[in-house]
Amino acid sequence: MALSDRPVLLTGAAGTIGRLLAHRLAALGWPLRLTDLAPLPFPLPPGATFETIDLQDQEAVHRLAEGCGLILHFGGVSTEQSFEAVLGANLRGSYHIYEAARRQKARVVFPSSVHAVGLYERSAILDQDCPLRPDGYYGLSKAYGEMLARLYWDKHAVESVLIRIGSVLPEVSDERILSTWISHDDFVRLIQRCAAAERVDCSVIWGASNNSRSFWRHDARAKIGWMPRDSSDDQAERVAGKVTADPVVERYQGGKFVVVDYSRTDFPPPAMFSDD
């Protein structure tokens, strides 16, 4: 770990991915500062500290980030909710994280999401530079986070890795996730490379294992030295036929998030922009 001489701040430590990272990174000897709005639902890992803070509290964020060389920003709302619910933690909170990173000259790992591009149809194969196409307010907050990261790289030289996370799960649970799955081991190895790479600039990585059914291809994985070792392919037979009866869910990469407050009576045009 190239940044091991400075503490690592992990927000959202009580969440599903936060728990995974807290346990696995602590076992690797990382000097972790854990935080969440919720109490920590597991014993504090060796060598780690924990403090409950609200990401909307800029002073608290800056205080906790003091001296950190890496910020793993996994805090905030992680499901599709109202704009007001997403606004504080995801938009204002991410701004506070990037201001803290600017002050501390820290690198940021920002968990973007498939939901930042969730309104692309499943037949589309996307590269890292595709236009963002969020499928709801949660996805919109992730698109905002990506643009925030770009702003802070261009204006302040704050480095970021933007991981467009598919599905961080122990195993595949349905046919769609054959395309979006990333194993726990691949994900932890990706976080390790985010820290160890000599430079990352502002890089986009598709957060998926080596799945033959993937919706995604070119990204910056070679730049940071990461290559997934696992694949969903050997789980395909077990989940064959596990789909929903909803045509909207089954049409789009974002899956079930797309149908939340979906009011069209048809489908949006596949192309982002018309040729007219």
CA–CA distance from 90 to each of 99, 126, 191, 239 (Å)? 14, 25, 21, 33
Question: Which residue out of 138, 144, 152, 252 is catalytically annotated?
Answer: 138
138 is known as an active-site residue = yes
Tell me the angle at which helices 137-156 and 93-104 cross, rounded to the nearest 10 degrees.
Answer: 20
Return the beta strands (E) in 166-276 as ranges. Answer: 167-168, 181-182, 202-207
Site of tokens 């037979």: 237
Q: Cα separation of 132 and 272, whole Å?
A: 9
Among 95, 98, 72, which Cα is nearest to 17's? 72
- Sequence letter at residue 40: L
Rounded Cα–Cα distance for residues 161 and 198 (Å): 12
Sign of CA dihedral 131, 78, 192, 35: positive
Report, as residue numbers or ranges, the catalytic residues.
Answer: 138
